């Protein structure tokens, strides 16, 4: 079974789970499901753990993969708790998911770390610093204290280059150095999926701007690549 872990309001994730289920056993799972159904995690014998999916209790060994579309558990996800409890419960479920996603033996896109449920960095600055350390040219940004100022905003003039990779393969090659650079970033960041955005400077050179670790399941090529990724790993 393939799990699609997402927010309770992510309609694209729900549609993608149904799409996956047309070709393999797959199911959507949210924080509501995790909080309201039985989940038994064991340590150090994690393989004895079980999870309840659509009313059925299954061994974690039956999971063929997880598509993780939930980088963080926010209190607003937990509307079934009293408002005063939500912040605490969100932290508890986030910790539970960190252990669960990082312990699964099956492929996870992307696997949780101590800083984020979908990879090693919780904000774009971490990926920018990694890019610089790898010798990848980065774009100039201006940091401001204005809460509405985002230095990683993609230019609206259409001059940006977006590259996605999954499992050491570029999903839709751009034909630029950004393809190889995205693969390098994903490999050194320890993630299966990465979507990186680049811009061209005044001289036309490609420079890294920002990156995202949550798969864009609104994109047909991305959905197809994820389906192929798991199909290739099916026994």
Q: What is the pLDDT of residue 143?
A: 66
Q: Over pLDDT 90: what percentage of the chain?
A: 76
pLDDT band at 24 (very low <50, low <70, confident <90, very high): confident
Structure token pair of residue 59: 């061994």
Contacts for 89 with CB less than 8 Å, ≥ 6 apart? 35, 75, 78, 81
In this structure, the answer to whether residues 95 and 135 fall within a common structural domain is no
Asked if 166 and 223 count as a contact pair (C-beta separation under 8 A), the reply is no
pLDDT band of residue 105 (cuts 50, 70, 90) is very high
Among the listed residues 74, 58, 67, the one whose alpha carbon sits nearest the alpha carbon of residue 3: 67
Range of the structural domain that residue 90 is part of: 2-118+223-228
Residue 107 · residue 67 · CB < 8 Å: no
| Alpha helices in the chain, H assignment, sequence order | 11-21, 31-36, 86-103, 124-133, 177-189, 220-231
Residue 201's pLDDT band (boundaries 50, 70, 90)? confident
Q: Are residues 82 and 8 in the same domain?
A: yes
Kindly state whether residue 217 falls inside one of the protein's structural domains: no
What confidence score (pLDDT) does residue 22 get?
A: 86
Whether pLDDT at 168 is above 90: yes
Q: Is the confidence at residue 187, as pLDDT, over 90?
A: yes
Residue with the bigger pLDDT between 4 and 157: it is 4
Do 35 and 102 share a domain, yes or no? yes
pLDDT attached to residue 38: 84
Question: How far are the Cα atoms of 62, 70, 116, 120, 218 from residue 97, in angstroms, in the given order?
Answer: 18, 10, 10, 15, 24
Domain shared by 108 and 9, yes or no: yes
Same domain, yes or no: 100 and 156: no
For residues 114 and 128, membership in a common domain is answered with no
Is residue 233 a part of any domain in this protein?
A: no
Query: Do 6 and 114 have their domain in common?
Result: yes
Using pLDDT thresholds of 50, 70 and 90, give the confidence band for residue 206.
Answer: very high
State the residue for tokens 């990724």: 229
Domain assignment present for 108: yes
- What pLDDT does 19 receive? 94
Beta strands at 193-200 and 50-53: parallel, antiparallel or unpaired: unpaired
Mean pLDDT of 84-94: 94
Residue 234 lies in a domain: no
Give 164's strand partners: 195
* Tens digits of residue pLDDT in 130-160: 999 999 999 887 666 666 666 667 766 667 8
pLDDT confidence of residue 4: 97
Same domain? For 157 and 68 the reply is no
CA 10 to chain centre: 13
Task: Tell whether the model's pLDDT for residue 235 goes beyond 80.
Answer: no
Q: Are residues 100 and 25 in the same domain?
A: yes
- At residue 108, does pLDDT exceed 80? yes
In a domain, 218, yes or no: no
CA-CA distances (angstroms) from residue 213 to 35, 101, 166, 174, 223? 25, 15, 10, 19, 15
* Three-state secondary structure string covering 95-118: HHHHHHHHHCCCCEECCCCCCCCC
81 and 32 in a common domain: yes
Domain shared by 47 and 132, yes or no: no
Are 113 and 25 in the same domain?
yes
Number of compact structural domains in the chain = 2
Q: What are the backbone angles phi and psi of residue 152, rounded to the nearest 5°?
A: -105, 15
């Amino acid at each position: 079974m393939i799990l699609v872990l997402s927010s309770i309001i992510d309609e694209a994730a729900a549609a993608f789970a149904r799409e996956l289920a047309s070709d393999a056993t797959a199911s959507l799972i949210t924080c509501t499901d995790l909080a309201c159904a039985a989940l038994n995690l064991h340590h150090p014998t994690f393989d004895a753990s079980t999870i309840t999916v659509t009313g059925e209790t299954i061994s974690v060994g039956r999971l063929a993969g997880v598509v993780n579309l939930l980088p963080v558990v926010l209190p607003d996800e937990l509307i079934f708790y009293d408002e005063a409890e939500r912040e605490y419960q969100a932290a508890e479920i986030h910790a539970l998911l960190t252990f669960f996603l990082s312990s699964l033996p099956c492929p996870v896109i992307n696997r949780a770390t101590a800083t984020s449920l979908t990879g090693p960095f919780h904000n774009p600055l971490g990926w920018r610093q990694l890019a610089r350390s790898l010798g990848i040219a980065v774009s100039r940004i201006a940091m401001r204290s204005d809460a509405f100022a985002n230095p990683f905003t993609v230019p609206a003039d259409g001059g940006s280059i977006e590259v996605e990779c999954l499992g050491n393969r570029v999903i839709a090659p751009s034909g630029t150095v950004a393809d190889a650079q995205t693969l390098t970033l994903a490999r050194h960041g320890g993630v299966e999926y990465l979507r990186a955005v680049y811009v061209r400077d005044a001289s036309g050179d490609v420079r890294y701007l920002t990156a995202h670790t949550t798969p864009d399941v609104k994109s047909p090529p991305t959905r197809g690549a994820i389906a192929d990724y798991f199909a290739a790993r099916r026994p």
